[in-house]
Amino acid sequence: MGIELLVNLSYVAAAVLFIFGLKMLGSPATARKGNLVSAVGMFIAVVITLLDQSIIDYKWIAVGIVAGGVVGAVIARSVAMTSMPEMVAMFNGFGGIASLLVGWAALYGFEANAFEMITIALSILIGGVTFTGSMIAYGKLSEKMPGRPLVFAGQRVFNILLILAIIASTVMFVLNPEQHLYLYLVVGLSALLGIMLVIPIGGADMPVVISLLNSYSGLAACAAGFAINNIILIVAGALVGASGIILTQIMCKAMNRSLSNVLFSGFTKVAAGGGMAKIEGEAKAMSAEDAYYVLEAASSVVIVPGYGMAVAQAQHVVKELQEILEKNGAEVVYAIHPVAGRMPGHMNVLLAEADVSYDLLLEMDAVNPRMDTFDVAIVIGANDVVNPAAREMEGSPIYGMPVINVDMARNVFVMKRSMASGFAGIDNPLFFKENTRMLFGDAKEMLGNIIKAFA
């Protein structure tokens, strides 16, 4: 009893540390300490668990911890900031499979009652979906597989049948814990469901998916907590689950779409685009040198980064340009759309890597009201998030989505590789506006040329 009480009290302490850690993540000034506080909570929880009397042999635990620790540390140290989305997706997946395995292994420890069987089934289910879903997201984000939505005829029917099969095999599994066939069915079918849920989702919608998978990884841990009667798993899992759900909501709101629209619109893509006015006009190209003349005279500049900045690895050159402009007496700020990039906060991390002060990174709602006061808005590899069609073209697929109104600035420079439409495949009337100039080419190179002109 003594040890059990100690273990559980330590879990309470760990939960408190997790909560304080998350609270401190609420401000950039305390965030790093908050992460450390949460890590201490984790350390306490793990060490105290090792005192558990049911643990007889430490050999395999040591093997697992050393192997996982080395792999985790190597990945964490070597990953490039631009690859952060796929790394988070991969880690989500590992969390998912761990919960699946914990649920599975719980079958052998003790006689599970009906409620425990249900929670074991749930942790296998959620864990499986999280694992394969995250692996597909990883594949798409790292471009190891095509990022566009993968759809085939009868997909919807197939998915409905799949879900029915999962429900049936879960019920059979709970009723017949001894029959391993049903267990394998639940494992296999949930893995298949994870794949089916993520393949129809396109690259631009990844911030939503990755947030949702984040939430699932927490819920899987939570379910595993119920399965093995462990309170700290339930508490920590629920905290993560809630966090993922909030991020999902924020992302959906930023795209003016419902979650179900994001998850299932891949199936109905063809329907969009009807009744849309054709956008016509001529985009006016501009050289780096001409851009320099305008920037040289500008007293306020807003930079709007998008996924293209990440692809071109242009964040350091952007910072260089910022410094030059500031030296020239201009005010420079950054406007960041919530869904710019491939995961929530993606642009902020890249700019932080380039040493851009975080108080210069403004949210969309802070910049839009004063957009007309900026002499120049520089759009770097962003497209849909600055598309004025969202504001002024009823019938456009993105109509109603909140965007950064760069077209209201006095001059707009758009750095872009070509005239191709954005990931959403929607034409952008911004390129044809009177005050817009296009700088075609690689963002990093283009910025470099402008910087050279200043020298």
Partner 1 sequence: MEIVFLAFILMLSIFLGFELINKVPATLHTPLMSGSNAISGITLVGALTSAGAEHTVLATVLGTIAVAMATINVIGGYMVTDRMLAMFKKG
74 CB-contact burial (10 Å; exposed 0-12 / middle 13-18 / buried 19+) = exposed
Token representation of residue 38: 């949460």
Q: Identity (one letter) of the amino acid at 273?
A: G
Tokens read off for 277? 């006015």
In the set 355, 372, 392, 394, which binds partner 1 (CB under 8 A)? 355
- Residues paired with residue 303 on neighbouring β-strands, in sequence order: 334, 378
CB of 111 or CB of 282, closer to partner 1: 111
How many other β-carbons are positioned within 10 Å of the β-carbon of residue 229?
12
Residues 277-336 that bind partner 1 (CB under 8 A): 336
**Does 343 engage in binding with partner 1 (CB under 8 A)?**
yes
Total residues in contact with partner 1, by rule CB under 8 A: 114
Instruction: Check: CB of residue 24 under 8 Å from CB of residue 30.
Output: yes
Applying CB under 8 A, among 357, 392, 395, 400 the residue interacting with partner 1 is 357
- Nearest-approach distance from CB 326 to partner 1, in angstroms: 10
Per CB under 8 A, the list member of 358, 373, 419, 452 interacting with partner 1 is 358
For the beta sheet containing 361-363, the strands, ordered from the edge strand earlier in sequence to the opposite edge, are 361-363, 331-336, 300-305, 376-380, 411-416, 436-440
Name the residue nearer to partner 1 (CB basis): 252 or 286. 252
Q: Does 236 bind partner 1 (CB under 8 A)?
A: yes
Shortest Cβ 41–partner 1 spacing (Å):
8
If binding is defined by CB under 8 A, does position 234 make contact with partner 1? Answer: yes
Q: Which stretch binds partner 1 (CB under 8 A): 165-173, 276-284, 352-360, 386-394?
A: 352-360
In which element (H, E) is residue 264 found? Answer: helix 259-264
Q: Does 221 bind partner 1 (CB under 8 A)?
A: yes
Say how far apart CA 88 and CA 207 lie, in whole Å.
11
Quick check: helix, strand or coil at residue 67? Answer: helix
- CA distances (Å), origin 33, targets 18, 47, 105, 243: 12, 21, 35, 19
Contact present, 162 and 191 (Cβ < 8 Å): no
Cα four-point dihedral sign 207, 209, 212, 213: negative
- Cβ atoms of 89 and 141 closer than 8 Å: yes
Set 205, 384, 407, 427: catalytic member: 384
Out of 82, 132, 170, 217, which residue is the one contacting partner 1 (CB under 8 A)? 217
Tell whether residue 94 is a contact of partner 1 (CB under 8 A): yes
Please say which residue, 37 or 447, places its beta carbon nearer to partner 1: 37
Name which position in 82, 92, 132, 411 contacts partner 1 (CB under 8 A): 92
* Residue 105: closest CA among 54, 71, 68, 70: 54
| Residue 33 φ then ψ, to 5° | -65, -40
Number of Cβ atoms within 10 Å of the Cβ of 262: 22
114, two tokens: 């009906």
**129 touching partner 1, by CB under 8 A:** no
Cβ proximity to partner 1, 108 vs 152, nearer residue:
108
Q: What distance in Å separates the CA atoms of residue 166 and residue 173, rounded to the nearest whole number?
A: 10
Q: Binding of partner 1 at residue 178 (CB under 8 A)?
A: no
Among 202, 218, 306, 381, binds partner 1 (CB under 8 A): 218
- Chain residues 192-211 in contact with partner 1, contact rule CB under 8 A: 210-211
**Which among 102-110, 137-145, 422-430, 436-444 is the span making contact with partner 1, rule CB under 8 A?**
102-110
CB of 189: closest distance to partner 1 in angstroms?
Answer: 19
Give 97 or 166: the residue with its C-beta nearer to partner 1.
97
Structure tokens given for 452: 């050279």
Q: Does 68 bind partner 1 (CB under 8 A)?
A: yes
Considering only residues 25-64, where is the footprint of partner 1 by CB under 8 A? 25-29, 31-32, 34-36, 38-39, 42, 45-46, 49-50, 52, 54-58, 60-61, 63-64
Query: Which CB atom, from 262 or from 335, has the smaller least distance to partner 1?
Result: 335
Task: Output the smallest distance, CB 223 to partner 1, in A.
Answer: 10
- Enumerate residues 362-381 that contact partner 1 by CB under 8 A: 363
Secondary structure (DSSP) of 291-345: HHHHHHH-SEEEEEE-HHHHHTT-HHHHHHHHHHHHHTT-EEEEEE-TTSSSSTT
* Among positions 16, 76, 171, 285, the unique one binding partner 1 when judged by CB under 8 A: 76
52 catalytic residue (yes or no): no
- The catalytic site residues sit at 384
